[in-house]
Amino acid sequence: MTKQSRVLVTGAAGFIGSHTCDSLLAAGHAVCGVDNFRTGRLENLWSCSAHPEFVLREGDVAEAGELDEIVAQFAPSAIIHLAGLVSVQESIATPALNFRLNVQATHAIAEAARKRSVGRVVFASSAAVYGESSRQALNEAAAPCMPVSPYGAAKLASENLLLGYARAYGFTAICLRYFNVFGPRQDPGSQYSGVITAFSRCFMEGRSATIFGDGNQSRDFISVRDIARANLLGATLPSLPSSTLNVCSGRGTSLLELVGCLSAHFGGSAKAEHAPERPGDIRHSLGDPSAAKRILGFQTAWTVDDGLGELAQPAETLISPL
Protein backbone atom coordinates (compact mmCIF):
# COMPACT_ATOMS: atom_id res chain seq x y z
CA MET A 1 0.00 0.00 0.00
CA THR A 2 1.14 3.55 -0.70
CA LYS A 3 1.43 6.35 1.84
CA GLN A 4 -1.98 7.59 0.72
CA SER A 5 -4.13 4.63 -0.22
CA ARG A 6 -7.33 4.81 -2.25
CA VAL A 7 -9.84 2.64 -0.38
CA LEU A 8 -13.32 1.66 -1.49
CA VAL A 9 -15.67 0.82 1.42
CA THR A 10 -18.88 -1.11 0.77
CA GLY A 11 -21.65 -0.62 3.32
CA ALA A 12 -20.13 2.80 4.00
CA ALA A 13 -23.27 4.34 5.50
CA GLY A 14 -23.73 1.57 8.04
CA PHE A 15 -22.65 1.29 11.67
CA ILE A 16 -19.17 -0.15 11.07
CA GLY A 17 -18.79 1.34 7.60
CA SER A 18 -19.20 4.95 8.66
CA HIS A 19 -16.66 4.59 11.48
CA THR A 20 -14.26 2.91 9.06
CA CYS A 21 -14.60 5.80 6.60
CA ASP A 22 -13.92 8.26 9.44
CA SER A 23 -10.74 6.38 10.43
CA LEU A 24 -9.44 6.14 6.87
CA LEU A 25 -9.97 9.84 6.19
CA ALA A 26 -8.40 10.83 9.51
CA ALA A 27 -5.32 8.78 8.54
CA GLY A 28 -4.97 10.66 5.25
CA HIS A 29 -6.45 8.19 2.78
CA ALA A 30 -8.88 8.79 -0.08
CA VAL A 31 -12.20 6.97 0.33
CA CYS A 32 -15.03 5.97 -1.98
CA GLY A 33 -18.05 4.86 0.02
CA VAL A 34 -20.66 2.59 -1.59
CA ASP A 35 -24.07 1.85 -0.10
CA ASN A 36 -27.55 0.89 -1.32
CA PHE A 37 -29.10 2.35 1.87
CA ARG A 38 -31.05 -0.81 2.68
CA THR A 39 -29.94 -0.42 6.30
CA GLY A 40 -27.28 2.29 6.06
CA ARG A 41 -28.22 5.90 6.72
CA LEU A 42 -26.85 9.00 5.03
CA GLU A 43 -26.64 10.86 8.34
CA ASN A 44 -24.02 8.37 9.56
CA LEU A 45 -21.66 9.96 7.04
CA TRP A 46 -22.14 13.55 8.20
CA SER A 47 -18.49 13.83 9.31
CA CYS A 48 -17.25 12.46 5.95
CA SER A 49 -19.51 14.36 3.59
CA ALA A 50 -17.52 17.60 3.49
CA HIS A 51 -14.10 15.91 3.33
CA PRO A 52 -12.29 16.60 0.03
CA GLU A 53 -11.00 13.01 -0.16
CA PHE A 54 -14.42 11.37 0.23
CA VAL A 55 -16.87 10.43 -2.50
CA LEU A 56 -20.15 8.54 -2.03
CA ARG A 57 -21.72 6.28 -4.64
CA GLU A 58 -25.15 4.70 -4.28
CA GLY A 59 -25.14 1.12 -5.54
CA ASP A 60 -25.96 -2.51 -4.81
CA VAL A 61 -22.75 -4.53 -4.78
CA ALA A 62 -24.68 -7.76 -5.37
CA GLU A 63 -26.09 -6.42 -8.65
CA ALA A 64 -24.16 -7.80 -11.63
CA GLY A 65 -21.69 -5.31 -13.06
CA GLU A 66 -22.56 -2.43 -10.74
CA LEU A 67 -19.52 -2.66 -8.49
CA ASP A 68 -17.18 -3.29 -11.42
CA GLU A 69 -18.06 0.10 -12.89
CA ILE A 70 -17.45 1.90 -9.57
CA VAL A 71 -14.11 0.15 -9.06
CA ALA A 72 -13.04 1.02 -12.61
CA GLN A 73 -13.77 4.71 -12.02
CA PHE A 74 -12.23 5.03 -8.53
CA ALA A 75 -9.25 2.66 -9.07
CA PRO A 76 -8.83 1.69 -5.41
CA SER A 77 -5.70 0.11 -4.00
CA ALA A 78 -7.89 -1.76 -1.49
CA ILE A 79 -11.54 -2.69 -0.95
CA ILE A 80 -13.04 -3.04 2.53
CA HIS A 81 -16.17 -5.14 2.08
CA LEU A 82 -18.65 -4.46 4.89
CA ALA A 83 -21.96 -4.56 2.99
CA GLY A 84 -24.25 -7.48 3.70
CA LEU A 85 -27.08 -8.91 5.73
CA VAL A 86 -26.00 -8.56 9.34
CA SER A 87 -28.47 -10.65 11.36
CA VAL A 88 -28.35 -14.32 12.32
CA GLN A 89 -32.12 -14.29 12.88
CA GLU A 90 -32.85 -12.66 9.52
CA SER A 91 -30.60 -15.19 7.76
CA ILE A 92 -32.71 -18.00 9.24
CA ALA A 93 -35.96 -16.31 8.21
CA THR A 94 -34.77 -15.37 4.70
CA PRO A 95 -31.91 -17.69 3.64
CA ALA A 96 -32.12 -16.69 -0.04
CA LEU A 97 -31.64 -13.03 0.87
CA ASN A 98 -28.72 -14.05 3.10
CA PHE A 99 -27.12 -15.83 0.14
CA ARG A 100 -27.57 -12.86 -2.17
CA LEU A 101 -26.36 -10.17 0.22
CA ASN A 102 -23.53 -12.16 1.79
CA VAL A 103 -22.22 -14.75 -0.70
CA GLN A 104 -23.24 -13.30 -4.07
CA ALA A 105 -22.06 -9.83 -3.06
CA THR A 106 -18.68 -11.21 -1.95
CA HIS A 107 -18.30 -12.95 -5.31
CA ALA A 108 -18.88 -9.58 -6.99
CA ILE A 109 -16.11 -8.10 -4.82
CA ALA A 110 -13.72 -10.91 -5.76
CA GLU A 111 -14.53 -10.49 -9.47
CA ALA A 112 -14.02 -6.72 -9.33
CA ALA A 113 -10.66 -7.20 -7.59
CA ARG A 114 -9.62 -9.71 -10.24
CA LYS A 115 -10.74 -7.67 -13.23
CA ARG A 116 -9.44 -4.31 -12.00
CA SER A 117 -6.19 -5.50 -10.36
CA VAL A 118 -7.10 -4.35 -6.85
CA GLY A 119 -4.21 -5.26 -4.59
CA ARG A 120 -6.11 -6.04 -1.40
CA VAL A 121 -9.57 -7.00 -0.13
CA VAL A 122 -10.48 -6.72 3.55
CA PHE A 123 -13.60 -8.71 4.39
CA ALA A 124 -15.96 -8.32 7.33
CA SER A 125 -16.33 -11.89 8.52
CA SER A 126 -17.73 -13.00 11.87
CA ALA A 127 -17.15 -15.20 14.91
CA ALA A 128 -20.37 -16.92 13.76
CA VAL A 129 -18.19 -19.08 11.50
CA TYR A 130 -17.08 -21.06 14.57
CA GLY A 131 -20.59 -22.09 15.60
CA GLU A 132 -21.10 -23.65 19.01
CA SER A 133 -17.46 -24.51 19.64
CA SER A 134 -16.41 -25.91 23.01
CA ARG A 135 -12.94 -24.44 22.55
CA GLN A 136 -12.02 -21.38 24.64
CA ALA A 137 -10.59 -19.10 23.40
CA LEU A 138 -11.34 -19.55 19.73
CA ASN A 139 -8.17 -19.70 17.66
CA GLU A 140 -8.22 -19.30 13.88
CA ALA A 141 -5.87 -22.23 13.25
CA ALA A 142 -7.14 -24.66 15.88
CA ALA A 143 -10.87 -24.10 16.42
CA PRO A 144 -13.14 -25.97 13.95
CA CYS A 145 -15.53 -23.87 11.88
CA MET A 146 -19.01 -25.40 12.21
CA PRO A 147 -21.55 -22.57 11.73
CA VAL A 148 -25.07 -23.12 13.08
CA SER A 149 -26.86 -20.51 10.96
CA PRO A 150 -27.07 -19.50 7.29
CA TYR A 151 -25.36 -16.25 8.31
CA GLY A 152 -22.30 -18.04 9.72
CA ALA A 153 -22.20 -20.42 6.78
CA ALA A 154 -22.29 -17.50 4.33
CA LYS A 155 -19.43 -15.75 6.10
CA LEU A 156 -17.31 -18.90 6.02
CA ALA A 157 -18.10 -19.49 2.34
CA SER A 158 -17.16 -15.90 1.58
CA GLU A 159 -13.83 -16.24 3.39
CA ASN A 160 -12.95 -19.33 1.36
CA LEU A 161 -14.06 -17.69 -1.88
CA LEU A 162 -11.87 -14.63 -1.30
CA LEU A 163 -8.86 -16.64 -0.16
CA GLY A 164 -9.16 -18.89 -3.22
CA TYR A 165 -9.37 -15.88 -5.55
CA ALA A 166 -6.40 -14.28 -3.78
CA ARG A 167 -4.24 -17.34 -4.36
CA ALA A 168 -5.33 -17.70 -7.98
CA TYR A 169 -5.15 -14.05 -9.03
CA GLY A 170 -2.40 -12.59 -6.88
CA PHE A 171 -4.17 -10.12 -4.59
CA THR A 172 -4.19 -10.17 -0.77
CA ALA A 173 -7.32 -11.16 1.17
CA ILE A 174 -7.62 -10.18 4.84
CA CYS A 175 -10.65 -11.84 6.45
CA LEU A 176 -11.45 -10.25 9.80
CA ARG A 177 -13.68 -12.28 12.11
CA TYR A 178 -15.45 -9.65 14.18
CA PHE A 179 -16.76 -10.68 17.56
CA ASN A 180 -19.56 -8.72 19.29
CA VAL A 181 -19.31 -5.13 18.07
CA PHE A 182 -20.95 -2.20 19.85
CA GLY A 183 -20.75 1.58 19.90
CA PRO A 184 -22.07 4.83 18.43
CA ARG A 185 -24.42 4.70 15.42
CA GLN A 186 -25.58 1.15 16.10
CA ASP A 187 -29.35 1.30 15.74
CA PRO A 188 -30.86 0.70 19.20
CA GLY A 189 -34.36 0.47 17.76
CA SER A 190 -33.63 -2.47 15.47
CA GLN A 191 -34.39 -6.02 16.59
CA TYR A 192 -31.02 -6.93 15.05
CA SER A 193 -28.92 -4.36 16.91
CA GLY A 194 -26.15 -5.37 19.27
CA VAL A 195 -27.17 -6.33 22.78
CA ILE A 196 -25.20 -3.51 24.43
CA THR A 197 -26.78 -0.80 22.31
CA ALA A 198 -30.27 -2.27 22.72
CA PHE A 199 -29.84 -2.59 26.49
CA SER A 200 -28.49 0.95 26.74
CA ARG A 201 -31.54 2.41 24.99
CA CYS A 202 -33.87 0.45 27.28
CA PHE A 203 -32.14 1.68 30.42
CA MET A 204 -31.91 5.25 29.18
CA GLU A 205 -35.67 5.19 28.65
CA GLY A 206 -36.35 3.55 32.03
CA ARG A 207 -37.48 0.24 30.52
CA SER A 208 -36.39 -3.31 31.32
CA ALA A 209 -34.15 -5.03 28.81
CA THR A 210 -34.95 -8.51 27.50
CA ILE A 211 -32.40 -11.29 27.95
CA PHE A 212 -33.03 -14.28 25.69
CA GLY A 213 -32.12 -17.26 27.88
CA ASP A 214 -30.73 -17.35 31.42
CA GLY A 215 -28.19 -14.54 30.94
CA ASN A 216 -25.15 -16.70 31.60
CA GLN A 217 -24.26 -16.77 27.92
CA SER A 218 -21.09 -14.78 27.32
CA ARG A 219 -19.65 -12.68 24.53
CA ASP A 220 -16.34 -11.09 23.58
CA PHE A 221 -17.45 -7.46 23.17
CA ILE A 222 -15.38 -5.03 21.10
CA SER A 223 -15.86 -1.33 20.39
CA VAL A 224 -16.63 -0.27 16.84
CA ARG A 225 -13.77 2.20 17.17
CA ASP A 226 -11.35 -0.72 17.53
CA ILE A 227 -13.03 -2.53 14.63
CA ALA A 228 -12.56 0.54 12.41
CA ARG A 229 -8.88 0.65 13.33
CA ALA A 230 -8.45 -3.04 12.45
CA ASN A 231 -10.08 -2.37 9.07
CA LEU A 232 -7.72 0.56 8.51
CA LEU A 233 -4.66 -1.55 9.31
CA GLY A 234 -5.87 -4.41 7.14
CA ALA A 235 -6.35 -2.12 4.16
CA THR A 236 -3.25 0.05 4.42
CA LEU A 237 -0.36 -1.75 6.13
CA PRO A 238 2.28 -2.74 3.56
CA SER A 239 3.28 -6.31 2.73
CA LEU A 240 0.56 -8.23 4.57
CA PRO A 241 -0.01 -11.91 3.80
CA SER A 242 -3.49 -13.20 3.07
CA SER A 243 -4.89 -14.03 6.50
CA THR A 244 -7.95 -14.94 8.54
CA LEU A 245 -7.86 -13.06 11.85
CA ASN A 246 -10.05 -12.72 14.92
CA VAL A 247 -10.83 -9.12 15.82
CA CYS A 248 -11.70 -9.36 19.48
CA SER A 249 -10.63 -8.39 22.98
CA GLY A 250 -9.91 -11.87 24.36
CA ARG A 251 -12.15 -11.12 27.36
CA GLY A 252 -15.62 -12.60 27.91
CA THR A 253 -18.58 -10.86 29.58
CA SER A 254 -21.87 -12.58 30.44
CA LEU A 255 -25.16 -10.81 29.78
CA LEU A 256 -25.87 -10.74 33.52
CA GLU A 257 -22.48 -9.09 34.11
CA LEU A 258 -23.31 -6.67 31.33
CA VAL A 259 -26.54 -5.64 33.05
CA GLY A 260 -24.60 -5.08 36.27
CA CYS A 261 -22.05 -2.86 34.51
CA LEU A 262 -24.77 -0.90 32.76
CA SER A 263 -26.61 -0.43 36.03
CA ALA A 264 -23.56 1.34 37.44
CA HIS A 265 -23.54 3.75 34.48
CA PHE A 266 -27.30 4.35 34.65
CA GLY A 267 -27.49 5.04 38.38
CA GLY A 268 -28.59 1.58 39.46
CA SER A 269 -31.77 1.68 37.39
CA ALA A 270 -30.93 -1.12 34.94
CA LYS A 271 -33.32 -4.07 35.07
CA ALA A 272 -33.78 -7.08 32.84
CA GLU A 273 -36.44 -9.67 32.18
CA HIS A 274 -35.93 -13.08 30.59
CA ALA A 275 -37.42 -14.62 27.44
CA PRO A 276 -36.83 -18.00 25.76
CA GLU A 277 -33.55 -18.55 23.91
CA ARG A 278 -33.57 -17.72 20.19
CA PRO A 279 -32.67 -20.32 17.54
CA GLY A 280 -29.18 -19.93 16.10
CA ASP A 281 -27.80 -17.98 19.07
CA ILE A 282 -24.42 -19.20 20.34
CA ARG A 283 -24.07 -19.62 24.10
CA HIS A 284 -20.42 -18.69 24.58
CA SER A 285 -18.08 -16.83 22.27
CA LEU A 286 -14.55 -15.81 23.20
CA GLY A 287 -11.75 -15.08 20.77
CA ASP A 288 -7.99 -15.45 20.79
CA PRO A 289 -6.60 -12.09 19.58
CA SER A 290 -2.95 -13.15 19.28
CA ALA A 291 -2.82 -13.57 15.48
CA ALA A 292 -4.19 -10.07 14.83
CA LYS A 293 -1.61 -8.68 17.22
CA ARG A 294 1.20 -10.55 15.47
CA ILE A 295 0.18 -9.79 11.87
CA LEU A 296 -1.56 -6.40 12.12
CA GLY A 297 -0.03 -5.09 15.34
CA PHE A 298 -3.64 -4.79 16.52
CA GLN A 299 -4.99 -4.97 20.04
CA THR A 300 -8.06 -3.36 21.53
CA ALA A 301 -7.79 0.11 23.03
CA TRP A 302 -11.37 0.39 24.34
CA THR A 303 -12.62 -1.70 27.27
CA VAL A 304 -16.26 -2.71 27.63
CA ASP A 305 -16.59 -0.31 30.53
CA ASP A 306 -15.16 2.57 28.43
CA GLY A 307 -17.72 1.87 25.76
CA LEU A 308 -20.60 1.55 28.23
CA GLY A 309 -19.72 4.93 29.70
CA GLU A 310 -19.87 6.44 26.21
CA LEU A 311 -23.25 4.85 25.48
CA ALA A 312 -24.67 6.10 28.78
CA GLN A 313 -24.11 9.69 27.65
CA PRO A 314 -26.86 11.57 25.75
CA ALA A 315 -24.76 11.86 22.62
CA GLU A 316 -24.69 10.85 18.95
CA THR A 317 -24.44 7.25 20.08
CA LEU A 318 -28.10 6.78 20.88
CA ILE A 319 -29.75 9.07 18.37
CA SER A 320 -27.89 8.21 15.16
CA PRO A 321 -29.47 5.37 13.18
CA LEU A 322 -27.61 2.45 11.63
Average pLDDT per 10 consecutive residues for the chain, totaling 322 residues: 84 97 98 96 94 97 91 97 93 96 97 97 96 84 93 98 98 97 79 73 81 90 96 97 97 90 75 84 88 97 85 50 26
Any idea of the CA torsion for 95, 284, 207, 278, to the nearest 10 degrees? 40
Q: Let me know if residue 273 belongs to a domain.
A: no
In the residue annotation, 192 being an active-site residue is answered as no
- What is the spatial distance between Cα 41 and Cα 43, in angstroms, rounded to a whole number? 5
- What is the spatial distance between Cα 124 and Cα 178, in angstroms, rounded to a whole number? 7
Q: Let me know if residue 257 belongs to a domain.
A: no
- What's the maximum distance between 2 C-alpha atoms anywhere in the chain? 56
Any idea of the CA torsion for 70, 72, 75, 81, to the nearest 10 degrees? 50
Q: Let me know if residue 39 belongs to a domain.
A: yes
pLDDT of residue 44: 96
Q: Let me know if residue 318 belongs to a domain.
A: no
pLDDT of residue 264: 82
- What is the spatial distance between Cα 270 and Cα 124, in angstroms, rounded to a whole number? 32
Q: At what angle do helices 195-204 and 255-265 cross, to 10 degrees?
A: 40
Which of 151, 169, 178, 192 is catalytic? The answer is 151
Q: Let me know if residue 313 belongs to a domain.
A: no
- What is the spatial distance between Cα 60 and Cα 238, in angstroms, rounded to a whole number? 29
- What is the spatial distance between Cα 282 and Cα 284, in angstroms, rounded to a whole number? 6
| 44 backbone φψ class: left, alpha, beta (φ>0; ψ -120 to 50) | alpha
- What is the spatial distance between Cα 81 and Cα 83, in angstroms, rounded to a whole number? 6
Q: Let me know if residue 208 belongs to a domain.
A: no
CA distances from 139 to 54, 165, 234, 245, 252 (A): 36, 24, 19, 9, 15
- What is the spatial distance between Cα 105 and Cα 62, in angstroms, rounded to a whole number? 4
Q: What is the CATH number of the domain that holds 232?
A: 3.40.50.720
Q: Let me know if residue 322 belongs to a domain.
A: no
Q: What's the structural domain count of the chain?
A: 1
- Vertex 136: Cα angle to 131 and 137 (nearest 5): 95
What predicted TM-score, i.e. pTM, was given to this entire model?
0.90
- Indicate the SS3 state at residue 259: helix
Q: Let me know if residue 210 belongs to a domain.
A: no
> Which residues on adjacent β-strands are paired with residue 132?
none
pLDDT of residue 318: 35
pLDDT of residue 193: 59
What is the number of alpha carbons within 13 Å of residue 53 lying toward its C-beta? 17
Residue span of the structural domain in which 138 resides: 6-181+224-249+287-300
CA 84 to chain centre: 10
175 neighbors 106 (Cβ within 8 angstroms):
no
